[in-house]
Structure 1
Amino acid sequence: MTAKLVYNRPLAVSRAVYAIADKAQSNTQQYGRRPYGVGLLIAGFDETGPHLYEFLPSGSVLEYVGTAIGARSQAARTYLERNYEKFGDSSLEELVVHGLNALRDTLAQDKELTSKNTSIAVVGLDTPFKLLDDDEVVPWLEKLDSVSRSSHPVQTEEQPATETQPEPAAATTSTDAPADADAPADAAGAAGSDSAAEPRPDDDSNMDTTQ
């Protein structure tokens, strides 16, 4: 409100984030006060563009193009690291699918993303913050499934897989990281993307709490 009255413009995302961080950090310096026990992913859009910040309980703040927090979040971060170069040229639809793909990588094999454990948040240029829940998430989950099917077609008995000839060996590297729990990450976001997708706390896989 002060920024609007004094400067006639919305508060910059970075100033809002660092104000929260300063308040949290002061609790780590004073006797008798406990640090905040929560981590946050804060996404926003201002005159400098889209931003995604990770807030740590210690008061530290890190800005990312895409990141994730919560149980098994390393799997989501690995996906985002592999694909972040695509975010700048992606449409909103593609960015949301990237976020959902990152979240899906955090799930145990017997779990899946559903409208009951997934929410999608979107914010960007001329796009006020909007949160999609329940039935609004279903079309996005169906779109995610269709993208997966087109990328990994299933062979049927009528269309048996043809035997492929071996190709010359090529050097490859893998950045797969071991999962650290059976619960999905609390949140995953693509920051240059102006979008983030996050599972909701009522997921039966027990979540701890998304640039």
Structure 2
Amino acid sequence: MPSVLFDAKDVTKIEPITTSCGMVFAGLMADFRVLVRRSRKRSQTYKLTYGENQPISQLVKETAQVVQEYTQSGGVRPFGVSVLAAGYDEEGPHLYQIDPSGVYIAWKATAIGKGDQNAKSDLERRATAGISFDDMTLDDAIHHALQTLRTGMEGEMTKTNIQVGVVDGTTKAFRILSEEEVQDFLEEAR
């Protein structure tokens, strides 16, 4: 449990990169901030050059390349962070994981961080039970994500100790749910 002096409202694990892409991390927050800054800069340069958002796969590839270069360069340490990037482009929705070695993998659903093995097992159980991650509504996806998060999380989930970022297939936009929206989903998921 964090200190009573800790101000959680200024700590976010989810960051928007473009209007249609966001990232979440497990690991060192300072390293994540460096990657977010670089990813935003590259995306903005791409948009200014080509007049459209950068494809998610290209953004992830470039971010992973930066992470990988730090594993081989002298005088710098590797990034201590694992990242999930979710976004929407002309090819549809995407979810990628970038690990600290710079390897990136596309997923339909996955988890990172503390309790990720329990969460991944839960996701695999859901998939083998016939749940299709490709065809579910946004609300259903949020419910499944919260139920999966609950399997790997210690303590009670509340609107103040979790964050939810979504890519809406209708608007093709990335956004972070408000605490009130998270509370509504938590109440429905009980």
User: Which position in structure 2 is the counterpart of 1:27?
Assistant: 70
Per-residue deviation, 1:26: 1.1
Q: 1:107 to 1:5 in 2, by over 3 A?
A: closer
Structure having greater relative contact order (Cα 8 Å, sep ≥ 6): 1
Instruction: Report how many residues are paired.
Output: 143
Contact 2:89 2:172 in 1 (8 A): no
Indicate the structure (1 or 2) with the bigger Cα radius of gyration. 1
Q: Which residue of 2 aligns with 1:141?
A: 186
Instruction: Name the structure 1 match of 2:157.
Output: 113
Listed as ranges, the matches of 1:27-176 within 5 Å are 27-84=70-127, 85-108=131-154, 111-125=155-169, 126-145=171-190
The answer on whether the counterparts of 2:108 and 2:134 sit within 8 Å (CA) in structure 1 is no
Equivalent residues of 2:88, 2:172 under 8 A apart: no
Task: Considering fraction of residues, name the structure with more helix.
Answer: 2
Q: Deviations over 1:15-63 (max 9, x none)?
A: 1111111111111112221101111111001111111111111111111
Q: Whole-Å Cα distance in 1 between the matches of residues 76 and 172 of structure 2?
A: 39
TM-score, normalised to structure 2's length?
Answer: 0.70
Q: Over the residues paired in the alignment, what is the CA RMSD in angstroms?
A: 1.5
TM-score, normalisation: structure 1: 0.63
The AA in structure 2 aligned to 1:96 is: I
> What is the percent sequence identity of the aligned residues?
38
Name the structure 2 match of 1:182: none
Q: Tell me, which stretches of 5 or more residues in structure 2 are unaligned?
A: 1-43
Q: Which residue is equivalent to 2:40?
A: none
CA distance in 1, matches of 2:45, 2:158: 40
- Is the contact between residue 76 and residue 105 of structure 1 (CA under 8 Å) also seen in structure 2? yes
Aligned to 2:16: none
Amino acid at match of 1:35: P
SS in 1 for 2:75: coil
CA distance in 1, matches of 2:141, 2:50: 32
User: What residue identity is the alignment partner of 1:43?
Assistant: A
Which residue in 1 is equivalent to 2:58?
Answer: 15
Secondary structure of the structure 1 residue equivalent to 2:159: coil
Taking the aligned partners of 1:91 and 1:133, their CA distance within structure 2 comes to 19
The answer as to whether partners of 1:44 and 1:124 remain within 8 angstroms in 2 is no
Q: Is the 8 A contact 2:67 2:102 kept in 1?
A: yes
